[in-house]
Amino acid sequence: MDFDQLRAEMVTELQQQGIRDTAVLQAMNTVPREHFVPEEYQEYAYYNGPIPLPAKQTISQPFVVALMLAALKLKPHFNLLEVGTGSGYAAAVASLLVRQVHTVERQARLVQYAKIRLNQVGYANISLHLGDGTLGWPTSAPYDAIVVAAGGPTVPASLRNQLAVNGRLIMPVGTHKKQKLHLIWRKVDGRFGHKVLTPVRFVPLIGSEGWGDGER
């Protein structure tokens, strides 16, 4: 399979879908998504939809990854936090756009999965952490940008608190099955701006400031 060709076609499709941020498009044209997709789904590596991962999780749809990263208006000096590493794909894309990526995953099996793949592609500015990302990752805060790749009932207070002044956070908020992307930004006076964007479907954010384990 000609993955380079498929990757370029995916990027053209993202442009047609309205993604304008050239840095995001370029990063998505660089990261080999096939490295992050499980063996048995290789032929769908550049399909513009979610793909199953171990532990009943999914790699997010390329369009949604692009949309979320573009909404954060990333700059090269940014310190970024991702909650929900999954395969490591979105972290890899983000790592080409900012100085440092911290990514937190609650499932040890997926931390291992992502670690192998991120080592393979050799992006050095990504720190992978095992833990409950609804609590953020306090030791490396504040963050200029936070992206949450799983859907929760509300934006966790811990994540708001770890946002830098002028920092932006994007997260799916809603029920277990349906959410909308919420964009939050911290103003100079310490208050938060808030905008509700497009409907999405993410796997649940499970943790002390998210859904309970086994809750439906």
- String marking each residue 63-102 x if it binds ligand SAH according to CB under 6 A: --------------------xx-xx-xx------------
Q: Name residue 145's amino acid.
A: A
As measured in angstroms, the least distance from the Cβ of 62 to ligand SAH is 10
Strands 57-59, 126-130: pairing kind: unpaired
Q: How far apart are CA 137 and CA 103, in angstroms?
A: 9
Q: Is 145 in the site for ligand SAH (CB under 6 A)?
A: no
Q: Which amino acid is at 46?
A: Y
Q: Does 106 sit near ligand SAH (CB under 6 A)? A: yes
Query: Applying CB under 6 A, which part among 13-21, 27-35, 51-59, 176-184 lies near ligand SAH?
Result: 51-59
Point out the catalytic residue in the list 60, 87, 95, 158. Answer: 60
| Other CB atoms within 10 Å distance of the CB of residue 112 | 14
* Cα dist from 118 to 18, 61, 124, whole Å: 28, 19, 9
Residues found near ligand SAH in the complex (CB under 6 A): 57-60, 83-84, 86-87, 89-90, 104-107, 110, 132-134, 149-150, 203, 205-207, 210
